Structure formats: C-alpha cells, structure tokens
Amino acid sequence: MTTGKEALFPNYGRFPIRLVKGKGSRVWDEAGKEYLDLMSGIAVANLGHAPEPVLEALKRQLDELWHVSNLFEIPGQERLAALLARLSCADLAFFCNSGAEANEAAIKLARRYHRKVLGNNRYEIITFRNSFHGRTLATLTATGQDKVKDGFDPLPTGFVHVDYNDVDGLKSAITDKTAAIMLEFVQGEGGVRPASPDFVAAVKSLCAEHGLLLIADEIQTGIGRTGTFFAYEQFDAEPDIITLAKGLASGFPMGAMLGKAYLSDGFSAGSHGSTFGGTPIACAAALATLETMEKEGIPARAKRLGEQGAERLRSALSGVPGLVEVRGRGLLLGIEMAAPVAGIVTKAQEAGLLVITAGPNVLRLLPALTIEEEQWNRGLDTLAGLIAAESKDGIYA
Ligand code: PLP
C-alpha cells in the first residue's frame, strides 16, 4: 500500500511547502514559517483567508442545513441569484461547483439555445489562443493552449481558436455554424493580457451582426478582482452569459453561470444539473462574500491598490535589464520578463512571499483585495528587489 505523497496522482507540479493556516493575507506552513500571500489560491481568497463575515455565515449555516437536493426550492440560491442579477447585467443564475463546470454549462446553454429556441444548427464556439477555460473535455478543448490537450484526444468538435485581439482573424472565423464567442476580458493563465478596447468593441458588434452569444469567462477576473465587480464593466460590453467561480464563495467551492432573461428557455427542467450545485452552505458563503464586497467597496479598493502597485513596480524596476512590461487590471498584475521567472518564485518563497507565474516569463500577482497597504507595498518592494538581484546575475541581461 502507498502512503502520503505517493498516494496522490502526480498531476500537479507542487511546491514543497505545506500550508496549514491562513488569516487575511498571511499564511503559515507546518513549521510555523509565515508567508505574505500575493496569490490568494489563484484569485480565490479575494477577501483574504477566513474573512470574518464569511466565517460567521458558514458557522450559522453549518448549524442549520448542509445539503439539499436541487429537486427542492433553495432559498439561499434565490437570494444569491437576485443579488448577482442586481450586481451584473444578467438576470438568471445556475449554480455549480467550479469554473470548468460553469463554462461547461455556458457551452451547453449556447448550443441548446440555438438548437431549441432559435431552431438553427449553430454549435461552434470561438475562443482565443492562450485562453484558459478549464480541464473538462469540452473546456480543455475550448482552451487555446495545446499543453492542456496533450494525450486526451479524441476531443469534442465545435471549437475554433483565433488570435486574441485580432479583429480580422475573428471575422474570418465566423461561419453559419458559429453559436458564441467565449472571451476572457483579461487573459489570466495566458499571461495577464487585457483585451484591447477596440477588439472588445469589434467582438460586440460582430456578435450583434451575426446573432452570436458573448460568453464572458470571468472566473479569474470576476468578484472584484480587476477593480469592478466584473471585468466586462470596464469595456462597455454587456455579455449574454457570464461564468464565475474562484472568489465567488471565498474558497468554499462554487461556480455560477449567469445569463440574460431571453436565454431562459435554453434550459428546461432536466436539461442540465448538478448534485452539489448551489448547496445552502455554498450559497451562505457566496452571499456573505458579495455583501461584504459591496458594503465595503472592495472592487474600488482593488482598482486603487492595483494602480498604485503597478506604478510602484514600474518605478522600482525601471532600468532593470530584461523587464518587458508591468500590466494588468486592478489586483490582477503581471510582470513580464525576457526570460523564465520560476527561479524568482522560489526566491520569493524563501523570503516569505507567495507569488505565481502565468506562462514561463510572467510573474502573476493576485493578492487578497483586502490586503493592507503596508503588506502590499512591502510585498512589492521585496519582489522588485529579488527581480533586480536576479537581473544583476545576468539571467535577464
Ligand atoms: N476559466 C478561467 C479564466 C480560469 O482562470 C480557470 C481556472 O484557473 C478556469 C476557467 C477553470 O476553473 P476551475 O479550475 O475552477 O475549473
């Protein structure tokens, strides 16, 4: 019999750090070493670890009811759906457990709406190179990166990939089979790359011209991360469908697909579902998360801290050899270097700082949106110092 690490499938490249406790932007490993967390479990702990209002809401709900089948009406789901409808341009919600499931639901809804409501045979979804949409068979096929597909063929048909921010490429990919365009307004895993406003304008007008649905994958960019509740708000483009997960319930697993009212008949009773989707516990965590964000103006805070942080990095790194660019929106920032940055991630961990990459040459910062200003500045200064030191060793020169 195998034990410990050997008992796990080796599908993750894991850092040799064993975190056991977290509060706010601080986390601790088994040996008691403290880290400043600038990655929030990849955009999950947007209110920090164990935020008090969510903790209290979870404790209350744990005393009441944990799980109920979606064969019954669930008051928490109704309250959460109404709140999401008020905060977004959408009217309807479906709840699930992860980002991939939310995108899977969006793909299914787009196909079924065209087939059953509009009565046509449009099923293709256009997505973009370097996008990331999940690990299920449909969502890894939607993903615009070959590495996630390796060894998993045959893949489902009906997905077409186009270069990001390429209007002409997009135009020529649209056919009479196209049902929808799936877009990250800022590509997260793909290198923290924002869409250009002109490109988004073209996407919107092509959707209107050809009768296509716009699916906004806001799984990484949503829940205040980019400085507004949803990234699409900064691009003057209302999606038909929005997918959410990650920060939605502050770390309790939950995904959501939101949609406009006219999509309602795309799903009928029995056409889609999930045993665990929208349990009372998940809904309690999400309601407390969103209410806290709204009450405390957290998205605006993310915008301010993100802009200040990007400026601080640009000035600390100016003249450092190999710096390509500091970019991003709100508290989703990328530092692109001219060479791989994995070594800096390790050095940062040694210095008590948790950061991750987005592709080989980009350091990605996604701190809690509640990070204290002193912590944020200290983290950025430490990181800039490490990057400058690496550059001095000639790695980036
Ligand atoms: N879409 C985007 C933009 C993501 O960043 C991710 C995860 O990183 C996903 C989808 C998949 O989410 P999950 O890992 O919860 O399935």
Report the CATH number at residue 269. Answer: 3.40.640.10
Instruction: Name the closest-CA residue to atom 10, ligand 1.
Output: 133
Q: Does a structural domain hold residue 141?
A: yes
Q: Which of 98, 107, 246, 357 most suits a substitution to test ligand 1, by most atoms within 8 Å of the C-beta?
A: 246
**Does any domain span residue 261?**
yes
Position 394 confidence tier, pLDDT thresholds 50, 70, 90: low
Q: Between the CA of residue 168 and those of 164, 179, 206, 373, what are the distances in Å?
A: 11, 18, 11, 43
203 and 275 part of one domain: yes
Q: Is residue 173 part of a domain?
A: yes
Task: Based on the fold, state whether residues 282 and 330 are members of the same structural domain.
Answer: no
- The sheet carrying 34-37 orders its strands as 19-23, 26-29, 34-37, 353-354
- Of 46, 145, 219, the residue with max ligand 1 atoms within 8 A of its CB, to mutate for a pocket test, comes to 219
Whether residue 14 is found in the same domain as residue 83: no
Residues 83-107: tens digit of each pLDDT: 999 999 999 999 999 999 999 999 9
In a shared domain, residues 220 and 262: yes
- Taking residues 195-206, report their average pLDDT: 98
In a domain, 356, yes or no: yes
CATH number reported for the structural domain that contains residue 315 in this entry: 3.90.1150.10
Question: HSE-up of 208 (CA within 13 Å, CB side)?
Answer: 7
The pLDDT of residue 397 is above 60: no
Q: Is residue 93 part of a domain?
A: yes
Contact 186, 231 (CB under 8 A): yes
Using the 3D structure, point to which of 268, 296, 324 is the last residue of a domain.
Answer: 296
Instruction: Select from 246, 268, 296 the last residue of a domain.
Output: 296
Please check whether residue 59 lies inside any domain of the structure: no
Q: Is residue 58 part of a domain?
A: no
Q: Which helix (H) or strand (E) holds 23?
A: strand 19-23
Same domain, 256 and 276: yes
Considering the domain architecture, whether residues 144 and 220 belong to the same structural domain is answered as: yes
Question: Per-residue b/e over 264-279, b at no fewer than 16 CB within 10 Å?
Answer: eebbeeeebebebbbb
Same domain, 290 and 305: no
Which DSSP category does 153 fall into? Answer: P
Element (H, E) at 168: helix 167-173
What does the pLDDT read at residue 76? Answer: 98
Which residue, 238, 267, 296, sits at the end of a domain?
296
Q: How many domains does the chain have?
A: 2
Per-residue pLDDT tens digits for 30-84: 999 999 999 999 999 999 999 999 999 999 999 999 999 999 999 999 999 999 9
316: domain range?
4-50+297-392
Centroid of ligand 1 to alpha carbon of 243 (angstroms): 10
Note if the pTM is more than 0.85.
Answer: yes
Decide: 98 in ligand 1 pocket, CB within 6 A. Answer: yes
Residues 88 and 179 in one domain: yes
Query: Is the CB–ligand 1 distance for residue 133 below 6 Å?
Result: yes
